[in-house]
Amino acid sequence: QVELAESGGGFVQAGDSLRVSCTAFGRPFSDSDMGWFRQAPGKEREFVGAINWSSSSWWLADSVKGRSNIARDHAKNTVYQQLDTLKPEDTAVYYCVEEAFGTWRNVESWKFWGQGTQVTVST
């Protein structure tokens, strides 16, 4: 069984930077694609970014492209999503995901989900 533990959320000001982290437990970390989704109040869960097992391929949503980066550290079994120039519309619960069986941007493609970490951006 896989367990995903997110951290790094918090309350920040618009324009600040923040990095959310996700550590995976329970299976070889290097075998799986990993990524992030987010869900704002009253909205559907949306794709943020994903990275393949070898870090040779990654994809960022248009909403964060140019001000975000995704990376993984195999030694720490951890994937990171760096968010810069944060905006109030980035406010959401950020969910870590692992093991995709389809298109990364689709919620239904991912097998394992973390509990989420709250990011709140104030004006």
pLDDT, one tens digit per residue, over 50-87 is 999 999 999 999 999 999 999 999 999 999 999 999 99
16, 62, 121 from 25: Cα distances, Å:
30, 30, 29
Share of the chain above pLDDT 70, in %: 98
Query: Please, what's the b/e burial string for 40-53 (b: 16 or more CB within 10 A of its CB; e: otherwise)?
Result: eeeeebebbbbbbb
Rounded CA gap, 2 and 113, in Å?
A: 9
Rounded CA gap, 28 and 22, in Å?
A: 14
The candidate with the shortest Cα–Cα distance to 71, out of 114, 11, 113, 20, is: 20
Rounded CA gap, 52 and 100, in Å?
A: 9
Tokens of residue 62, six digits:
């248009």
3-class SS at 30? helix
| Range in 26-35, 88-97, 105-114 the model is least confident about | 26-35
